[in-house]
Each structure stands twice: as C-alpha cells, then as structure tokens.
Chain A
Amino acid sequence: MKKTLDLRGLSCPIPLLKTRDALAQADMVEVLVDELPPKENILKFAKSQNYKVEWTESGGEYRITVSK
C-alpha cells in the first residue's frame, strides 16, 4: 500500500517522524517537503534503514518516495 503525505512547512523533526510513522503502516510512502533539512533527514533515515529512496525536485519542493 502506498501513502502520500504533505509535510510542507512543518517544523523539524515532524516531517521525519510522520514519514517514519507512515512507513510502519505502509510499504511505500511518498512525502512532499519544501525545505532542505527535512529532505536530508528523511534521506538519511531511509538509508539507515536500508529502504529504497527516490526523490525529485520541482520549484523548491521535494517529492520523496521511500519504499521498504
């Protein structure tokens, strides 16, 4: 199951927490963030868990797909 979360504009570390929580319930999670720190934190987290991660950037927003 895939989940999509809009995490734009949320303070650190809420985007990371929400992504982590969503991944506990779904195998694939797509998140939308609009700042570099949450993007980096989510990529780092995904890497630490050996999850597959892909991201694209458009207009200062990052769409990140994390899959188990």
Chain B
Amino acid sequence: MNWPILILTGIVFGLGAVLLVRFGNPGNYGFCAACHLRDIAGALGLHNANTLQYARPEVLGWVLGAFSLASLQGQFRARGGSNPVVRFILGMAMMIGALVFLGCPLRAILRLSAGDLNGLTGIAGFLSGISIGIIFLKRGFNLGRAKLHTSGGAKFFGYLPALAALQLIISVAFNAPYLNFSAKGPGSMHAPVWLSLAAGLVAGGLAWKTRMCLSGGFRDFLLVRDTYMLSVYAILFVSALAANLHLGFFKLGFDKQPLAHTMHLWNFLGLFLTGIAATLAGGCPLRQLVLAGEGNTDAAFCVLGMLVGAGIAHQLNIAASPNGVLFNGQIAVLAGLIVTTAIGFIYREQITPIGKGA
C-alpha cells in the first residue's frame, strides 16, 4: 500500500476542489464527473441550457493526466470489445441519475464536506445501488471479455479520448468559436483555464495511479472488507472539509445549498441509479474517464453515453435544478432503473475453467 500517493491523491482532490471554487468555479463544483461532463456536452451543443455550457478543463485534464502517466509508465493499452453498446447505455443511466441528484458521487462527498447534508442522502442512495449491483455480479453478471486492439483503426480509437480532451482544452483556452460559452449562470463561473487544467492533470494522473473509484471502494469494502480505496475518499473529505471551514464555505443543513435541491427521495434514487449502473459498468463516472484516458475503449463508450445522457437530460427537462426534480426527471430515473436492472438480469456469461487438475 502506497500511503504517500494515497494521501496526496486525497488532498489534491479535496483541497484542489475547494480551491477551484475559491478561484471561480460554482459552489461545491471544483470537481464533478457528471456536472463537468454536462457542461462539456453544453459547450459542444448537445443541449441548449445556455447557463450550463463550458468545456471544463478539470475533467478533460483527468483524461489527459491518466493518459500521460499511463503512457509514461508503459501501461497505456488500447483495448475493448466488452459490450460497448451496453456500456453506452449504462453511461447514460449513470449520468441521468447523477443529474437528478445534481452531482456525481465525488461531488456528493464534496457537497457533504461543505455542510450540504443532501450529500448524505445521495451517498446512501449510491451505496444502496452498489449493493444491488453486487447482487448482479454475484449472480454472474458479466459483459464479456475485452481484448487488446490489434488493428490500426481500433488501436487509434484507444487514443481518441486523450486526443479529444487535448483538442477541447486547446479550444477552450483560445475561446474557439465552435464551442458554446455561457454568458451567465453556473457555466459562466470558472477558475482560470490554466488552473483548472493543472488541477485536472495532476488529479487525473493520481486517480490513474491509485485506481481510485468510489463504487470500487464501497464494493471492495462490502466484498472483501478492504478499505484501501475508501481511505482516499476519507482523506479527500477531511481535506475538503478543512478547506471549506477555513475559507468560510461551510454551511450545515439541507436548505439553500449551492446547486442542490432537497427532494430527498429523488436525491436518493438519483445516485441509487448511478450506483447500480456504475457497478455493472465496472467503475464510477470518474473511473470511466480515467480508464478512457488509458486506452479502454469500452470506458470511452461509457463516457460517450454520459455525454449523450447529459444532452438528453437537459433537452427533455430530466435534469434537476435547485428548484427540484420535475416529473420528467422522476420518470427518467424509474425508466433508468428498469433498463439497468434488466441489463443486470440479462447479461450473464459463464466463465469456464481452463482445466481442473488433481
């Protein structure tokens, strides 16, 4: 166990997230796989919510940071082929759940570290979702094997997330006319590009190195009582809490929290859906972005699903707002739960032993 790297990762994510808010990001919005991807979807024109459009360099940095460190350490491997279409759908489900809660599981922890108790409701939902996901895994749920890509085209696809992230970072740094930029609202609030990018790159490299994943952390604890991955999140929480207290961002309660609503049932069910989908897809939204960076094309499909899910969520009024979750959002979560559990029931593949010896 590499404690220095573990502690550094927790601090970079926890302290880094709060400092990004200090330097311009909206409240409790320093890092968030879901909200930031949603803003990127907006920047690309996948939805028309004109207050939520900005190609956030933080999560683009995650992809690029993971790609860079994996490449430097000879661990970049273009691979995939484990049911990308189902992973795309799971990505959509993950995003729809997260946008009903208003944040990915990482943001749930960051919200809690600033006193937003709705974060607790979301984390409880996420944990329950993982428990359901584990039941499917124990029943033999399996999306099939990924293989190393050997042909040129497929190999190239392994590099595509990193290339797309790089292209978007350059575009946002130079205010490219083909990207949307919010003039008001949360999308207009952001830390300087270079700072967001630097934080994202370092965080992405560390997330790759530690393989941090919140669904993986809970899953390891539930399955084998291993707390290694959860300890990253504990350090993250404590460092964000300390920074929030120090900077005066801490406000305890459910009401009037930044970019949050208080419909408890839907906060719970939102991340409940994300938890099931993340467990079936083999990683939380953050982990999918990191895996996409290191050449996993199945994770790249999952990220594409998240982007499209964000587009749909805002075009169809599924995503929540600080006013709460509309009827469409409630229906979408229930539909997502039906689709995700159906996937959990349907996809089972027997792994046959190579051989049994004496």
B72 within 8 A of A: no
Q: How far is the CB of B191 from chain A (nearest CB, A)?
A: 31
Chain A residues lying within 8 Å of B138, measured Cβ to Cβ, are 17
Kindly state whether residue A62 has any CB partner on chain B within 8 Å.
no
A15 CB to nearest chain B CB (Å): 9
CB-contacts of A30-46 with B (<8 A): 32, 34-37, 40-41, 44-45
Distance in Å: Cβ of A13 to nearest Cβ of chain B: 6
Q: Report yes or no: B355 in contact with A4, Cβ–Cβ below 8 A.
A: yes
Contact of A4 among B148, B228, B356 (CB under 8 A): B356
Residues of B near A6 (CB, < 8 A) are 351, 353-354
Taking the closest CB of chain B, its distance from the CB of A54, in whole angstroms, is 16
Tell which of A2, A3, A48 touches B224, judged by Cβ atoms closer than 8 Å: A48
Are A60 and B82 in touch, CB under 8 angstroms? no
A41 touching B142 in the complex, CB below 8 Å, given contacts A5-B353, A9-B82, A17-B137: no
Residue B255 lies at the interface, judged by CB distance under 8 Å to chain A: no
Pick from B75, B82, B143: contact of A36, CB below 8 A: B75
Dominant secondary structure of chain A at its interface with chain B: mixed
Q: Which of B7-15, B193-201, B215-223 contacts A (4 or more CB under 8 A)?
A: B215-223
- In the complex formed, the residue of B with least CB distance to A35 is B77
Asked whether B226 lies within 8 Å of A7 as measured between CB atoms, the reply is no
9 pairs, CB–CB < 8 Å, chain A vs chain B? A3-B353, A4-B355, A9-B145, A11-B142, A14-B142, A14-B282, A17-B138, A34-B148, A35-B77
Bound complex: CA A13 to CA B81 (Å): 17
Chain A interface size, under 10 / 10 to 19 / 20 to 34 / 35 or more: 20 to 34
B226 touches A18 (CB 8 A): no
Q: Does B79 contact A (CB under 8 A)?
A: yes
Q: Mark B347-358, 1 if CB is under 8 A from A, else 0.
A: 000010111111
User: CB-nearest residue of chain A relative to B287?
Assistant: A12
Q: Complex: how many Å from CA A5 to CA B354?
A: 6
B225 touches A11 (CB 8 A): no
**Alpha-carbon distance between A34 and B358 when the two chains are bound, in angstroms:** 25
On whether the beta carbons of B223 and A11 are closer than 8 Å, the reply is no
CB contact between A2 and one of B79, B146, B358 (< 8 Å): that residue: B358
Q: Which 10 A/B pairs are nearest by Cβ-Cβ distance?
A: A9-B145, A11-B282, A9-B146, A4-B354, A2-B357, A12-B282, A6-B354, A45-B224, A4-B355, A37-B211
- B256 contacts the other chain (CB 8 A): no
**With A11-B282, A45-B224 as given contacts, are A60 and B143 in contact (CB-CB < 8 Å)?**
no
Contact A5 to B351, CB < 8 A, known contacts A16-B224, A48-B224: yes
Chain A 20-64, CB-CB to B under 8 Å as 1, else 0, gives 101000000000101111001100110010000000000010000
Cβ of B243 under 8 Å from chain A: no
Binding site for A on B (CB under 8 A): 75, 77, 79, 81-82, 137-138, 142-148, 211, 213, 216, 219-220, 223-226, 228, 281-283, 298, 351, 353-358
- Cβ A4 vs Cβ B357 within 8 A: yes
Task: State whether A9 touches B220 (Cβ < 8 A).
Answer: no
Q: Is the CB of B75 within 8 A of A11?
A: no
Q: Report the minimum CB–CB distance from A60 to chain B (whole Å).
A: 7
Cα–Cα, bound, A36→B75 (Å): 9
In whole Å, how far is B346's beta carbon from the nearest beta carbon of chain A?
16
Known: A10-B142, A12-B283, A60-B77. A45 touches B356 (CB 8 A): no
Smallest CB–CB gap between A44 and chain B, Å?
6
Residue of A nearest to B79 (CB): A9
Within the assembled complex, what's the spacing in Å between the Cα atoms of A36 and B83? 21
> Would you give the shortest CB distance from B208 to chain A, in whole angstroms?
11
Nearest Cβ in chain A — how far from B303, in angstroms?
A: 15
